[in-house]
Amino acid sequence: MRNYEGHTVFNPLYLFYLESPKRDQWQKPDEVLQALRLRAGDVVADIGAGGGYFTEKLARRLAPSGHVYATDVQDVMIKKLRKRVAQQALTNVTVIRAGFDDPKLPAASCDLALFSSVYKEIQGREEYMQKVRVALKPSGRVAILEYRPEEPSPGPPRRYRLPEARVVAEMEAAGFTLRDRFDFLPREYFLVFGPRS
């Protein structure tokens, strides 16, 4: 983690860790995307996309009719995202330079917003998630993957990790309801929320 424009965010010096082939073993991206039951034509926001690990996988799964908004707040990550999108010819991806307090997504545009080890980095999470809700379609969902605080494996420093119960409470305060919970990831909890009607 590092301080960037007054905010604590992922240190891009460790991007190699996120891009390591070993990540597939503990992140299980195919199983994650399968659990999310994505459909043809879906629009997904990969919030805090970093170097584009999930962005590329989402783009390939949703092609040709679906779309991915890949957002980040760090200029270095935006450059890496744009490079990956160009090199991999991901024509169904839009890269967005988001704000720390605003995902800058089009209103009512997304079927899913994915936060992979990013939720903990957001300040003012309740207000931020209310803005995410504006970007969701009426049936839209939010998926949050975060490291378990007690997990001894590599990952973010433990002082930054959030207990699962805290995430659920914060999301409920922001107007969401827990819809699904998955336990197949060895290092992280995996929660899916929908807007409270």
CATH of the domain at 189: 3.40.50.150
Confidence of residue 9 (pLDDT cuts 50, 70, 90): low
Q: For tokens 């999470």, what's the residue?
A: 125
The better pLDDT of the pair 152, 92 is held by 92
Cβ–Cβ under 8 Å, residues 107 and 43 = no
In tens, the pLDDT along 64-123 reads 999 999 999 999 999 999 999 999 999 999 999 999 999 999 999 999 999 999 999 999
Distance in angstroms (rounded) separating the CA atoms of residues 182 and 180? 7
- Asked if pLDDT for residue 1 goes beyond 70, the answer is no
Q: What is the pTM of this model?
A: 0.92
CA atoms within 13 A on the CB side of 165: 0
Query: What pLDDT score was predicted for residue 152?
Result: 82
pLDDT at 193: 98
Identify which has the larger pLDDT, 158 or 139: 139
CA distances 16 to 20, 21, 51, 89, 134, Å, are 6, 10, 9, 22, 33
Nearest residue to 187 via CA among 143, 162, 152: 152
How many domains does the chain fold into? 1
Q: What is the pLDDT of residue 165?
A: 98
Residue 112: which domain range?
2-195
Q: Give residue 12's pLDDT.
A: 59
Residue 13: pLDDT band with limits 50, 70, 90? low
